[in-house]
Structure 1
Amino acid sequence: MDLSQLRQQIDTIDRQIVNLYEERMDVSRQVAEYKIETGKKVFDKQREQEKIAGVKALTHNDFNSHGVEELFEQIMSMSRKLQYQLLAAHGSEGRLPFIGVEELETDCARVVYQGAEGSYSQAAMRRFFGENVNAFHVETFRDAMSAIDEGSADFAVLPIENSTAGIVNEIYDLLVEFENYIVGEQVIPIEHCLLALPGTKMEEIKRVYSHPQSLMQSARYLAEHDWQQISMQNNAFAALKVAKEKDKTQAAIASEYAGETYGLEILKKGINDSDSNSTRFIIVTNQKIFRKNANKISLCLEIPHESGSLYHILSHFIYNNLNMTKIESRPIPDRNWEYRFFIDFEGNLADSAVKNALRGLREEARSMKILGNY
């Protein structure tokens, strides 16, 4: 038998497979209608596990056994997604505890940011809320989240990601811990400056203070000098320390704005390694609201610690034609080698495709938290 004949056989088998697939999905549709009438859940993990074991037992070698397992996992996944769509079509999308608003109420809002005056966080806050914002600052990210939680602030401005140094791990962990939600974001270009007391010469400097990420972002420049690098909670705190202690052996890496705020001289501008360096800040509140024109959703997932879990979870974005723009993982405390996944994707909580995807994610993930739509 030549190759063309073998290919014809494959084509014939494939047509049969397609016909059987469509027949199976038609039965799945009937199952969905039954579940809608009886209120049964779509995802029945025990039933699926029994089904996988059954079809694997029909194969004749290990290779085919693994292949059939993967094939039927996908077939059942498609069946579930069809059933989720039918539930939505019957008005059973499920209510999300978020309220859509035209605009955020910011006119009389009190805003908190981490750091000191002159920080990039303050710059992001003013860019988002305006120059005359009613604001105060705190020492730590936790303090900022607590201020919203207890009601002393309406919004917080927090750095979540830098284009060079990556994510701010603590912010991700705090978003899980606190019942606060993202309602906006602001991207600020970063230009680090070497700041010192007026009249300071380069050769006088022995120690440089800044936030760990700013030190990392300026690593190439710092490698040219034999200076002790000391981490601070915030760039502006570093500038404040140098200004207060009036020691010419000390310098800070911070913004030009911080230098102006504390009367420091700029010895060198733009010492960060990347010319396109920027930091993304999130605007957080304790209200479950989203702007009706919001187009990005952030969520956190915990999934079963087993083979294929993440693969199946991500298929909900693909099947609903949603563009996932970011995924990060963070360790789960007290559960070695298990991780939470943080996902950003394009969409609005009012969109039917988003509701459909979230229903599937909520049923199949171990836990899910919507962090915000903004």
Structure 2
Amino acid sequence: MSSPDLNQVRIDISSTDSQLLELLSKRRKLSINVAQSKLATTKPVRDTEREQQLLVKLIEQGKALNLDALYVTQVFHSIIEDSVLLQQAYLQNHINPETVAHKVRVAFLGQQGSYSHLAAQKYFARRAEEVIEHGCASFKEIINTVESGRADYALLPIENTSSGGINEVYDILQHTSLHIVGELSVPVEHCLLVATDTEEHKIKTIYSHFQPVAQCSEYLSTLNDIKIEQADSSANALEIVSQLQRDDVAAIGNSEGGRLYGLTPIQTGIANQKQNYSRFIVVARKPIDVAAQIPAKTTFIMSVKQRPGSLVDALLILKQNKINMCKLESRPIPGNPWEEMFYVDVESNVDSDNMRNALKNLGEITTFIKILGCYPSDDIKPTNPTVDS
């Protein structure tokens, strides 16, 4: 039996890939048709029961085609997630037509290659054909850029699964007039990147933003005689190392950003937690409405009376109204020693009856309360099919 011609096999693969792309495009258009059918109803975008049935059926079909169940599940998890996000974006554009734009101006921390820059690209890829980027040196500059009208949106990192909340951002949210209009979580894959052909034991200085240093503390503790130099952002660290072109310096960043600066990773996966994610919030000058068909989050800040049980009383109001709290963070109130401002994320639309009632009751027992924003939830949990073995 003669061996297949490699060139012909590659031609056939390319042809099959093109057919796959056409089918994916067709499926996306059908997803938009689904969203259009839900405009006149409050039927949720996601139907997890149908997703479960769909995945089970696809796995069985895949078995008949000699396709592994895990492979089929991974492929369709990505397809379903894309479909959900696409439908959400369509419904949001319909309810907020003033936000639809061909071109958007976005402010973020650092420059090209920073995690904030990569997150901005990911978030606005579905929302605008052209993104005008405004790299900023500080969180305060980011806020000022949007408040002054020089940018339409800002992207702010708010927390990380390894290093926790970013206090400076929480403090800025107390005083800004901007509103949270979106969120996204992105995987953070820290690497040790260099500009020359060198080795780890030769490195004497590492440039990094302070957040990656905290997130990679366990790895850094294994290195001897290392000096940490703080950079304004991860991208700034990459740029410095690229300019130095020395075999004794390195930067902590992501490999995708490193490629923009001609850097190569010599160690990967150096974060304390292998499942390391950063959550970003998107802020704008005007609030948005969230379609009833979309899972929503509401973020607000409040201060409570200085008496025993006052915080518990406030949280009980959420429980009584069947509202799930997914985040509680406290920060000191400047000028008020030992008093705290509480940041609360809940899984609820601010316009729902339950949320309206909860806010009314909270207003009666808190000393201060302010809605920071209501926005679509980015948490698209994959459906795990139950297949009989």
| TM-aligned CA deviation for residue 246 of structure 1 | 2.3
- Name the stretch that deviates more: 125-134 or 208-217: 125-134
**Structure 1 CA distance, aligned partners of 2:156 and 2:98?**
20
Q: Which residue in the other structure is 1:249 paired with?
A: 248
In structure 1, the partner of 2:285 is 286
Equivalent residue number for residue 119 of structure 1: 114
Partner of 2:96: 101
* One-letter code aligned to 1:368: I
Matches for 1:1-374 after TM superposition, within 5 Å: 101=96, 104-130=99-125, 132-226=130-224, 227-292=226-291, 293=294, 295-374=296-375
Query: How far apart are residue 373 of structure 1 and its match?
Result: 0.6
Compute the displacement of 1:294 (Å): 5.1
3-state SS in 2 of match to 1:242:
helix
Q: How many percent identity over aligned positions?
A: 35
- Please say which of residues 149-158 and 191-200 is displaced more in the overlay: 191-200
Q: Which runs of 4+ in 1 moved over 3 A?
A: none
Q: What CA distance in whole angstroms lies between the structure 1 residues aligned with 2:329 and 2:200?
A: 40
- Give the C-alpha shift of residue 283 in structure 1: 0.7
Distance across 2 between alignment mates of 1:317 and 1:221: 41
Say whether the 8 Å CA contact 2:196–2:246 is kept in structure 1. no
**What is the rounded CA distance, in whole Å, between the counterparts of 1:105 and 1:306 in structure 2?**
47
CA deviation vs aligned residue, 1:136-179 (integer Å, no higher than 9, x gap): 21111111111110000000011001011100111111111111
Q: Structure 1: how far apart are the matches of 2:102 and 2:172?
A: 27
Offset of residue 287 of structure 1: 0.5
Q: What TM-score do the two structures reach when normalised by structure 2?
A: 0.68
What CA distance in whole angstroms lies between the structure 2 residues aligned with 1:362 and 1:101?
A: 28
Deviation at 1:233, TM superposition (A): 2.3
Q: Contact 2:255 / 2:264 at 8 angstroms: preserved in 1?
A: no
Structure 1 alignment gaps of length 5 or more: 1-99
- TM-score using structure 1 length: 0.71
Larger Rg: 1
Cα-to-partner distance string for 1:164-203 (whole Å, 9 max, x where unaligned): 1100111111111111111111111011010111212223
Distance (whole Å) between structure 2 residues aligned to residue 257 and residue 343 of structure 1? 33
Whole-Å separation in 2 of the counterparts to 1:109 and 1:290: 19
- Contact preservation (8 Å) 2:104, 2:130: no
SS in 1 for 2:189: coil
Please, which runs of 5 or more residues in structure 2 have no aligned partner? 1-94, 376-389
2:298·2:348 contact (CA, 8 Å) conserved in 1?
yes
1:336, CA displacement in angstroms?
Answer: 1.3
Instruction: Identify the range of structure 1 (283-292 vs 234-243) with the bigger mean alpha-carbon deviation.
Output: 283-292
Q: Which amino acid aligns with 1:120?
A: Y
- Cα distance in 1 between the residues matched to 2:318 and 2:97: 26
Query: How much has 1:291 moved relative to structure 2?
Result: 2.4
Cα distance in 2, alignment partners of residues 165 and 260 from structure 1: 25
CA offsets 1:75-116 (integer angstroms, 9 cap, x no match): xxxxxxxxxxxxxxxxxxxxxxxxx63684343221111111
Aligned-partner Cα distance in 2 for 1:355–1:151: 31
SS in 1 for 2:106: strand
Does the CA-based 8 Å contact 1:300-1:343 persist in structure 2?
Answer: yes
* CA RMSD, Structure 1 to Structure 2 (Å): 1.5
